[in-house]
Structure formats: structure tokens, C-alpha cells
Structure 1
Amino acid sequence: MISSLLVRTLAIGVLLLGAAGCTGTVGGPDGGGVVVDTDAGVDAGSDAGVDAGVVSCGEQPARPAPPTNLAAASVSSFEVALTWEPSPDALVKRYRVLRGLALVGQVLRPSFAHRPVVPGETYTYTVTALTDEGGESLPSNPVTVTIPVPPPDVFSALAPGHWYEFPASNLRASALSPSLYPWLGLGEGISGIMDDWSSGAFDTQRDRLYISGGGHNGYYGNEIYGFDLRTGAWVRLTDPDPVGSGQECPDRALGVNCAIHTYDGLEYLPPPFDRFLAIGWDGWPQTALNLDTNRWENHPDLPQLGTRTGANSAYDPNTRVVWYHAGSQALSFWDPVTGKWTIRGEADQQGYYKNAVVDPRRKLYVEIGQGVTDTTAIDALGKFVPKRVRLATTGAREIEDGGNPGVDYDAVTDRIVAWKGGGDVYSLDLDTRVWTKHTALSTVVPGPANMNGTYGRFRYVPSLNVFVVVNTVDTHVFVYRLDPRPARLLRRIDVTASTAPVEVGMGGKLQVTAVFQDGTSVAATSEVTFSSLDPMVATVDAVGSFRALNPGRARLQASYTDPLTRRALVGALELEVVPMAGDVVLEALQIQPPPTLKVVRGRSAGIKAVGSFHRGTDVFTRDVTCEATWSSDAPAIATVAHGTVQGLSEGTTTLHAKVGTVEAQAALDVIPNATLDLIALNFQPPGAPLVSGWAVADDSAFDAARGWGWQGAGGLQTRGDRNGTQDPRLASFVLTTGAKFRVQVPDGRYHVAASVGDNNFGAGLASVEFAGTGIAYGVGTGNTAGAGIVEATAGQGLVFDVVGSINWLAGMRVNGMDFNEALAAAKTW
């Protein structure tokens, strides 16, 4: 079972420069079961439920002692290396590295290398120390550096059509010796890290090509090597984790990567994530390497999508997800923010030897190999993507033959560029569908392609406008230039506010402009990740709207990744928040969420008080939870303080929040079991319930007295013969080619969850949607669960669009209780 802690760790650890929701699906033995999910776009934090919504109204955490003696250890045209003396405070756990006001890194040790930097720019750095309690020190001494213009080098002298060979760049010479780690000598040894159907990923921030691979009696080491194009040398990011006798992988409890045939399953996730991702094998989760700390983060596994042999993947910088095509199943994507896998296609035999890349301009997932080029549109996450299209390409189509050519997107030529050995390189114009062969003009060329495929070991380097490739551990690293024009690279990110300073309780909107080195700029507000480094002073949401909370200064920042070059910079501003002046009048107070609160006996829930104010003609609202005086009419039933409700005994009481003379109240029910407020429907043939405690939803039409049923549906089929499952809800379903299922509930916001699919036979597409918002998607065999937050309006209840086979549906009003707890309590088997 995937705990919500894993997902929360992902969101916090990955999004150092951005805010994240907390989402994930939890599958039982059959892929259905309990669901942990909130809709990050609908105030997910306030609806997280028991204990998650508790308001902290205590004193600010103490400031630790600051780090000292910050110095620039080295400065080059591509990197600034910083070192400092650590804070003497024992509570300090990590350090923030700031360039001006913007956070550029967060590390555990007193050193950091900042990339990318822009030649000619002047940067000022400081470092602060952080504690687990949220305390941040005053900044260290500042250090100011000017980034030098790079001198002429091998890249600037490389002409189009020519290759360059890095001397002494074979990996074997830099790899670890089995004398230090005996398991590295098992199987094929280090040669298996590339020879055994293995890929690579290119870090556009640090200009490094990462390599990992092995498995199946190949290479047993899970360490990650990176070739740094700026230094021309291999670096080792991690040490190998131990592999026991007779085992292929380290202990799963370590939460680290396993050496496997990666196929096309390695990706670099540019900021706001800045992670190296390795998609796991059957039974193994995907792991992400934090490139600031070089530590692994273990994340939820793939759904069972059929064989992963020959699978391919590619990161989409527009939707910020990783698209993945299993060897014999559907296209799906993984969202690094939520940790959630979602199916977005039909079961599809993609083949064994195809490599994939995303075209960010045309928003296509492009697969090349086995004699064909296939494309799939990926511009929408909320719907099933169209079926893949096999392109009728012309020209030098021989690049499509064979298996797993190296392919990547070139932002300068706006082409897909491919290589499969020797000196020739091929480019594809997706508009004309013509392949062009670019014959090598130099005598220096790479050797033949690795017999088991190139995959991602051929990559485009936007900062240098070259391609890099490595074939085996005994051959050198090569780079190639296709076009003489430089890439359009970012120079800086400008963040401005509509109003400053801002009074407590007021807000505004940030505007962001991305400025490029060639002098051009684009409005980037809708494409950035916003965050606040001082959320107790001011917060900022996903679209750049900020809210001032307390007097002080808040650092608000925006991280922008250029989708064409996948290079990122961050910008920030300091927002001054001042006390409200003038005659501010509190008119009304409301306790949220309305209208009736519930809490399970022995558990807690978080609520808040929101005040409605006016000052002259200005009308606004503000959270006053920490300012209010809270009370309960029956403290033996429930107590409340600072917005935290504690249910003590069953019964009903009234909660009060008072600010000055203005008071609000709300009814609270303390109930013995969370399922009392849960709508739990199991889809099955008509008759007695097949699942204890779950109401029967069959093929009957909507009945207002009962409160649920089908609308405008014909030809519904019911099945209840999928026995052998550990979750009896998955043993039955109602099948439809497309119908609406209505649940009559009062207006308001509801948690909902559903499971779809047939665990015995393939049933094609299966989905449950509400007003265009996906709740659950599935395809082929197995069962897939999903969840979200929706709103019933205009007395219409909840009307779901259903396609395929639906197993079960559950809902609960957003009322302060935890939805996952309610579903878990409904388990009677």
C-alpha cells in the first residue's frame, strides 16, 4: 500500500522551487482498493481531513545561528562553486542557497555548485540555515561574482557536420573496481551498464549525460555515472548499494535504484523538479535522484500495464509529466507533483525496439524504430489521448530501420534528430514528414551503434548546440554539431507585483517575464512555478495570486523552464507586508467548511474562521483562525482551540469563533465511525448485496427516492462472476459504452472515488468523469482506482460520465473528516 507519506515526501522534496498538491492512488492486491487523493486545484490543503488541516497558531520557530565565511570556491563561464562554514547550531539540517532573493538550491552539506549561469551577469549569493521546525537563520555574508565570457574551446570551433572525440573519455577507466565492491564483478561487469539494453538521460542544467543500467546477470552496480561536457570527464554521483548473494537488486527497504535493463526508461526532469528519474522494473518503484544531494527518493510504482520490456518514455516540458509507453499496453503518464500514474490511451502493441522523444512545439509523443515513425498527441492530460498515428515518411527512411536509434528534439532546427551508428546523422521535419541524411564531413566519427540499442545515450545539448553520444564503456564520448546557429538561452526571470507594499489581508498578482540572451522576451506568468519562501508573511498560489498574511517581508519567486531548451532560471521579488491602516470594520465571521462539521470520536479535524471586512468601499475577506477565541457548548463532546477540533464522545455540539464582538457558530457531530457520512455503492447484478456494507448499484434507472441510478442509458450489462479477487468490490461491474450515473446529494463539495476495469478480461477504455474532470481511468485488464474533489450545484446532485466497466463508487461531503479514513472504515472483508 502506498502511503500518503511517500507522496508528500515527493512533493516537498521535488518542488524546492514550487508549491505542490498531495495526490496519489492506493491499490490493493488487485489494483483497486482504498484511494488517497485530493484535488490540488481545489484547495486541497484545507480539505486534507483529519490532522492534515490543523492550523498552527503558535510562536514562530527560533532562528538558528547563520552560516559564515561564504566564499566562491571557483567561478567559470558555466558554474559557480560555493563553500561556507556550517552553522554551529545543532538543530540545523540543511541550507538554502540564494542568488539575490531567489532560491537556487537546498543542500545538506556546506557546499553547492550553481548551474546554469549566464556569462556577463553579476550575481550575489547568500546562504541561510534551516531547521526541521521551520526556523531560518539570518543570511550569511554575501559574495558577489561576475560570470566570465567563455574562452574559445572545442565546441566553439566545431563546424556543422563534424564530430569531436573527447580524449581519454571511456567509462571503464573511471568506473569503480570490484576490489572495493565485490558484487560489481558479478555477471558481465561494467560493460553491462551500456550493453544490456540501457539508456541515458541528459541534464540540461549541468550539461551532464547520466548513465545507468545492467540487470539479468549484466551489471550489478546501481551507482550513477555522469559525463560532464564542460570538463570532459566522468563523475560518479552515488556509490553502489550492496547486493546480497543470489540477488540482483539491493534491499528494497533502502529505497534506492536497482540495476536493470532500462530500455528507454531514464529521464531528466528539469526544474521545478531537477531530478534524474529511473523507471523501475516489475515490482520495483521508480526512483528519482536528487541532484543537489545525490540521494535517492523512492516513489510509487507503475500500475500493471503489461510487459515493460522494450518500453519507452519521454518528459514533456509543457505538461510537466513523464509519458511512458509499455511494451504491449497503453500510453500513460506519471506526474512528479502528485506521484500519480494515469492511463491515457488504449492497449497498444508498441513493439520491442522503439525510442521516444517529445516534440514540445507540436505537442507530440514521437516513437521511432522497427521501420516506422509513430506519433501521439499529448496536449491534454484530462482526456484519453487519440490513437497513435503512423507517419508516411519519405526521404532517408533507413534511420527508422533496426532497433532503438538515438533520437532527440533540436530546438534550433525544429527537427527530430536521430543517430544509429557511424558518422551520419538524420533529421525529420514533422511538418513535411521528410527524413534528411546529413553525411559526416569529418574523419573523426563514432563507431557502430551498440547492438542492443542507443536509446537515450544520444542527446541534444541546448547550451552548446551539439549532440552527445556514448556507445560502450570502452569507447570514447563524441559530440556532433548539426547547425551553426546558437540556441536561444535564458538570461534572467523578471518578477513584478501589481501593488507594493501590501497591507495584511490584501492581495495582488505577480507578473513574470522570461528574458533571453538574444534580447527577446516572453510573458511567462502562466508557465512558471510560484512559491513563497516566507509563507507565514505571504502566500502565492499556482497562478501567481498572492495574499498578505502578517507584517514582514516575503520572498516570492517564480521558476521558469524554457520548454524548447529545458533550461531553467528562477526570479524573485521581496513583498513588503504592512499592518492595515484606517478604519477597518469586521462585519461577519464564518466557520469553514460549512454547513455541518463532522469528526470521528477520538480523532481531530482542522477548521478555520474567515472574517468579512470593509474599509470604506473596499470589501475583502481574511483568515482569522489564529485571532479568534474558540469555544464549544459541550466540551465533554468536543473541544476546539486555534481551529483544531478534538472529538471526545458521540453527540452534537455547537462550536463558536469570536473576534471582538463578532461571532460565528457551526454545528458539530461527533460520530462513532467515518462511514456514517459515506455514500458507498458497489456495481453488481440486481439482487442482494455482494459486498457487506456497500449498497447495490445495478443497471436500474435513476430513482429519486433511492437517490441514485442511471440516466439516459441503454444496453447496460451487469457481471458478478469475477471471483478470486481479494477485494470483492472488484468481482462485479456494470458495463456501458457511455452513460450517466447520478447520485442525488445536496449542493456542496464532495470527495469522490471510483474503480473501473475487468480483472479477468480486457474491456477497452474505462473511465469515470465529472464535468470533464477525470476521477478514474483504466484500459485493458485489471482494475484502476482514482479520486478527486467535485461540486454539486443547482440541485442536480453528482452526475458522472461513465465509459466501460465500473466496479464501485464512493462519495462524502467535504466536512472536515478524512475521506481515506472513511473508505478504510468501510472495508468489511
Structure 2
Amino acid sequence: MKDARTVLRQWFSALAITTTFATSAASEDSAAPLTAFEKALVEMPAESWREIPGSQMKAECAPDRFGVHGVMGCAAVTEAWSGGTYASGHRLMLVWGGGHNDYWGNEIYAFDLRTGRWTRLTDPSPGDVVKGGGADPLPDGKPNSRHTYSGLAYLEHVKRLFAQGGSVSPGGGGTSVTWLFDPAQKTWHNAGSGGRPGGYGLAAAYDKAGRAVIVRATQGLWRYDVDRNSWSQLAGFGNRPLWPRYEVGGNKTAAIDSRRRLFWSVGNNDFLVWDIARGQMVSDDWRTSGGTPYSNARRLKSYPDQVLNAGGAEIHDAHAPGFDYDSKADQFVAWKGGAPMILDLATKTWKAGSATGAPPAQARNGTYGRWRYLPEYNVFILVNSVTSNVFFYKNTAGGPRRDGS
């Protein structure tokens, strides 16, 4: 029998081959004519919302015969502290969630941007497999269902979904296994669990330039090198000068400003900005204005030297808001219900977008990564719940930047 290291080496060698194919396929994708649905997204006017009739995910929910209903059923895929990510190489918005005793299903759902329709990419592992005690992986070798929080990202250069951490079924324990999913083959790969962040409330974002994922945990900042399948800690928050400002629990959302290679984490009073290239915290350099005044003074009342005051409290204090980088406008656009909040990075100023046609409130336990920027169409997608239609928000008019980013 092959040992684990041999299996991993072979699998990551296969990823290198897949990367070459993926680059070619991505070029073919970009050259393919847009469908009518895709054209409609490109042609949306600036600062407008569009709701897609008949696009409720519930029509694709796994049937009861799998025995994974839990307390909430399929509704928990979005309601139970879970997120999603945009698989640009496949033009699919992927949603994965559930976990604890809310829902035991580990299936993945995909909204196809070419057709405007949902599909269930995989079937859930049967309930009899799950109820054995909260293992990850399950006895069938697949990942257990979990609250995914903001622990999902899409690895563009290998066309894989990345998943880290979460609260698994049925008991709610944490996990530190790194999972990779191939949407084309609909297969999972267990990349290991040693020396990695895990548990609740992780916030991840893909650094395309570094071919890595940056993960914000409560007590530290981590980097996952995709090609080497290796983890390293970038910063620990247990000691000063980073403690106690950055030791923030609860549920947050992360995104990367790819122009400056800055990793941002917001939500639950978090205000964290990490310079990836320089390897240092630069939050104080990014004090913003506009919107509602933000402050961490109440949380840090015994540490006045660590207080940061800025703008945009609507997002920094929100519970797991939607938050992603608009590469064409060079802005972060965030959403927690109603009008989105837009942070112009050139001026460091927040402003409100349009609320006309927007869902008035986010899902009860947060939006996480179910709000994503789609660069191919220069538009944001929102999956707010299993029982609501899919929404799109256009920040600025037109299609993508001419360089395709």
C-alpha cells in the first residue's frame, strides 16, 4: 500500500499537469461567445440590482431518502453559518454548507453563469455514514458536512475549490482538514490535517500572484502554499503588539485587493489589513472615512494605544457580511442587506450604493462568501438563501477590464 506522502506527491504532480490544461481551458472559456444570460449581466446598468426569477436553489436540494435532514434540512446550506465561492474556471458559483446538527448533507451546489440555473454537483453521503460521531473524513472518504463560514476559496491556477475548517456534523466539533474539490470530475481530495488552522470562523482568500490562500483565524494569520501542499503561520495574535487588537473571535469575511496584494478581514468589529508582499500588518495605513464611524475602542478599552478609528462601521461591525474586491473599479464592495457599501481604495472612502431592488436583509447567520465579484461580467452575485432567488449587483457599467482581470 502506498504511504500518504507518496499519494500526496502523485496527486500534486497531477495538479501541475492540470494547471497547464486549466490555463488552456481558461483561454478557450474567455474566447467562447457569451450566452444570452451572460450578455444580460454585462449589459446591466451601473448601480443596479437584478433578481433572477425561478432561481431558488431549493429545487435542487437532496431528497429525504439520503437521511441527512438534521434539524433544518437543506435550508441550512445557507442559513447555518456557511458560504460559497466563485469558480471562474468553470463559470460556477459554488455553495457548500450545513454542519453540526442543522444539516448533515455534504453535497455541493452550483449556479451556472452560462445558463442561470442550479445543479447539485454531488449527492450527500448517507445519513448512516454521518451519524457515527463527527469524523472528518467520513468512513466513505468524503468530507463531513460543516458550517463552512468564510473558509472557502477557489484556486484559479489548479481549478479547485479549497475548504478549510468548520463545525462538522452531527456533534459540532471543529476540523482542521484541508479539502480540495474538482468541479469537473466532482471528486474530493483530502490534503491532510497536521499543522493547519481549524475550527470555527475562519476567513480565507486566494492570492493569485502567490498561488496561495491566506487564512485569518481567531489567533493568527496563515498561508497555504497550494503547489507544495504546505502551511505556514504568517503572524500570531497571542502577544503584543498584535494582541489584543487582532484576536477577534466570531464570524468574519476576507478578500484580497489584488492590485496592491493586501489581505483584508472585516466583520464582528474586525479591521485587519495584511500586506502580503511585505509580510506585515498595515491596518493603520488604511484608516478610512465615510459611512458610519467605526471604532474598536470598546473592545480595547484597556489598551488605548491599539485603538483604531475609521469609517465603514456598517461592514466592519456586521455579522459575516459579503465582501469582495472589484478589480475593474479598484473598490471593495460589501453587503449586509439593502444598499451595498463601497470602499474606493484610491481615496480610502466608503459610500453607499443603490438599494433599489436589493434584498432588505442578509441571511440570519451571515453572508460570508455567497457574495462574490465575477470579473468576466463585471458584476456581483448574491446567494442569500436556499428559498430566495439569485441576485446580481452591478457596481460600474460595462464588461471586465481589457486585460481580463
TM-score normalised to structure 2 length = 0.82
Mapping 1:611-626, distance limit 5 Å: none
Question: Residue 401 of structure 2 aligns with which residue?
Answer: 488
CA distance in 2, matches of 1:248, 1:288: 19
Mapping 1:405-554, distance limit 5 Å: 405-422=321-338, 424-440=339-355, 442=356, 444-488=357-401, 516=403
Question: Residue 394 of structure 1 aligns with which residue?
Answer: 289
Find out whether 1:255 has 2:145 as its counterpart.
Answer: no
Kept after mapping to 1: 8 A contact 2:83/2:150: yes
Question: Residue 354 of structure 1 aligns with which residue?
Answer: 252
CA distance in 2, matches of 1:298, 1:149: 35
Q: Which has the higher strand share?
A: 1
Q: Quote how far apart the aligned CAs of 1:304 are.
A: 5.6
Q: Quote how far apart the aligned CAs of 1:105 are.
A: 9.1
Kept after mapping to 1: 8 A contact 2:258/2:327: no
Q: Quote how far apart the aligned CAs of 1:433 are.
A: 2.0
Kept after mapping to 2: 8 A contact 1:192/1:214: yes
Question: Residue 89 of structure 2 aligns with which residue?
Answer: 205
Pick 1 or 2: higher relative contact order, CA cutoff 8 A, min separation 6.
2
CA distance in 2, matches of 1:304, 1:294: 25
Kept after mapping to 2: 8 A contact 1:249/1:258: yes
Question: Residue 28 of structure 2 aligns with which residue?
Answer: 117
Q: Quote how far apart the aligned CAs of 1:196 are.
A: 0.9
Q: Quote how far apart the aligned CAs of 1:16 are.
A: 2.2
Kept after mapping to 2: 8 A contact 1:10/1:336: no
Question: Residue 4 of structure 1 aligns with which residue?
Answer: 5
Mapping 1:222-261, distance limit 5 Å: 222-244=106-128, 245-248=131-134, 252-261=138-147
CA distance in 1, matches of 2:264, 2:392: 23
Mapping 1:551-700, distance limit 5 Å: 565=405
**Deviation by residue 1:41-87 (Cα, 9 ceiling, x = unmatched):** xxxxxxxxxxxxxxxxxxxxxxxxxxxxxxxxxxxxxxxxxxxxxxx
Question: Residue 214 of structure 2 aligns with which residue?
Answer: 323
SS for the counterpart of 2:107 is: coil
Q: Quote how far apart the aligned CAs of 1:405 are.
A: 0.8
**One-letter identity of the residue aligned with 2:271:** T
Question: Residue 225 of structure 2 aligns with which residue?
Answer: 335
Kept after mapping to 2: 8 A contact 1:249/1:259: no
**One-letter identity of the residue aligned with 1:377:** D
CA distance in 2, matches of 1:488, 1:4: 42
CA 1:302–1:263 in 2, change beyond 3 Å: closer, same or farther?
farther
**Deviation by residue 1:141-188 (Cα, 9 ceiling, x = unmatched):** xxxxxx446558432442111111111111112211112x12x22221
Q: Quote how far apart the aligned CAs of 1:278 are.
A: 1.3
Kept after mapping to 2: 8 A contact 1:14/1:275: no
Kept after mapping to 2: 8 A contact 1:6/1:299: no
**Deviation by residue 1:320-348 (Cα, 9 ceiling, x = unmatched):** 10111112x11111111111111111224
Q: 1:345 aligns with which of 229, 235, 244?
A: 235
Q: Quote how far apart the aligned CAs of 1:104 are.
A: 5.0
Give structure 2 stretches of 5+ with no counterpart.
Answer: 167-173, 238-245, 292-311
Q: Which has the higher helix share?
A: 2
CA 1:340–1:411 in 2, change beyond 3 Å: closer, same or farther?
same
CA 1:395–1:302 in 2, change beyond 3 Å: closer, same or farther?
farther
Question: Residue 105 of structure 2 aligns with which residue?
Answer: 221
**One-letter identity of the residue aligned with 1:202:** Y
**One-letter identity of the residue aligned with 2:280:** P
Find out whether 1:177 has 2:63 as its counterpart.
Answer: yes
Q: 2:199 aligns with which of 308, 312, 327?
A: 308
CA distance in 1, matches of 2:162, 2:379: 23
Find out whether 1:364 has 2:279 as its counterpart.
Answer: no
SS for the counterpart of 1:10 is: helix
Question: Residue 299 of structure 1 aligns with which residue?
Answer: 191
Kept after mapping to 1: 8 A contact 2:381/2:390: yes
**One-letter identity of the residue aligned with 2:183:** L
CA distance in 2, matches of 1:10, 1:458: 31
Find out whether 1:276 has 2:161 as its counterpart.
Answer: yes
Aligned residues: 363
**One-letter identity of the residue aligned with 1:263:** Y
CA 1:408–1:229 in 2, change beyond 3 Å: closer, same or farther?
same
CA distance in 2, matches of 1:374, 1:195: 26
CA RMSD of aligned residues (A): 2.5
From the CA coordinates, give the structure whose radius of gyration is larger.
Answer: 1
Kept after mapping to 2: 8 A contact 1:279/1:285: yes
Mapping 1:751-770, distance limit 5 Å: none
Question: Residue 559 of structure 1 aligns with which residue?
Answer: none
Identity fraction in percent: 31
SS for the counterpart of 2:236 is: coil
Q: Quote how far apart the aligned CAs of 1:264 are.
A: 0.7
Question: Residue 80 of structure 2 aligns with which residue?
Answer: 196
Question: Residue 186 of structure 1 aligns with which residue?
Answer: 70
Give structure 1 stretches of 5+ with no counterpart.
Answer: 19-101, 107-113, 122-146, 490-515, 517-561, 566-829
Q: Quote how far apart the aligned CAs of 1:374 are.
A: 2.0
Find out whether 1:285 has 2:177 as its counterpart.
Answer: yes
CA 1:295–1:176 in 2, change beyond 3 Å: closer, same or farther?
same
CA 1:459–1:151 in 2, change beyond 3 Å: closer, same or farther?
closer
CA distance in 1, matches of 2:4, 2:136: 21
Kept after mapping to 1: 8 A contact 2:42/2:398: no
CA distance in 2, matches of 1:210, 1:277: 11
CA distance in 2, matches of 1:17, 1:311: 28
**Deviation by residue 1:698-721 (Cα, 9 ceiling, x = unmatched):** xxxxxxxxxxxxxxxxxxxxxxxx
CA distance in 2, matches of 1:216, 1:292: 28
CA distance in 1, matches of 2:236, 2:326: 29
**One-letter identity of the residue aligned with 1:254:** D
Kept after mapping to 2: 8 A contact 1:284/1:301: yes
**One-letter identity of the residue aligned with 2:204:** S
Q: Quote how far apart the aligned CAs of 1:118 are.
A: 5.7
**Deviation by residue 1:526-551 (Cα, 9 ceiling, x = unmatched):** xxxxxxxxxxxxxxxxxxxxxxxxxx
Q: Quote how far apart the aligned CAs of 1:255 are.
A: 3.1
Q: Quote how far apart the aligned CAs of 1:350 are.
A: 3.1
Q: 2:272 aligns with which of 355, 358, 374?
A: 374
Q: Quote how far apart the aligned CAs of 1:308 are.
A: 2.9
CA 1:371–1:231 in 2, change beyond 3 Å: closer, same or farther?
same
Mapping 1:706-717, distance limit 5 Å: none
**One-letter identity of the residue aligned with 1:209:** M
**One-letter identity of the residue aligned with 2:228:** T
Mapping 1:13-52, distance limit 5 Å: 13-18=14-19
SS for the counterpart of 2:281 is: coil
Kept after mapping to 1: 8 A contact 2:164/2:202: no
Q: Quote how far apart the aligned CAs of 1:116 are.
A: 5.7
CA distance in 1, matches of 2:229, 2:107: 24
CA 1:229–1:438 in 2, change beyond 3 Å: closer, same or farther?
same
Q: Which runs of 4+ in 1 moved over 4 A?
A: 147-153, 248-251
CA distance in 2, matches of 1:304, 1:296: 18
SS for the counterpart of 2:280 is: coil
Kept after mapping to 2: 8 A contact 1:14/1:274: no
Q: Quote how far apart the aligned CAs of 1:418 are.
A: 0.6
Kept after mapping to 2: 8 A contact 1:241/1:250: no
Mapping 1:778-789, distance limit 5 Å: none
CA 1:261–1:221 in 2, change beyond 3 Å: closer, same or farther?
same
CA distance in 1, matches of 2:392, 2:274: 30
SS for the counterpart of 2:40 is: coil
CA 1:343–1:463 in 2, change beyond 3 Å: closer, same or farther?
same
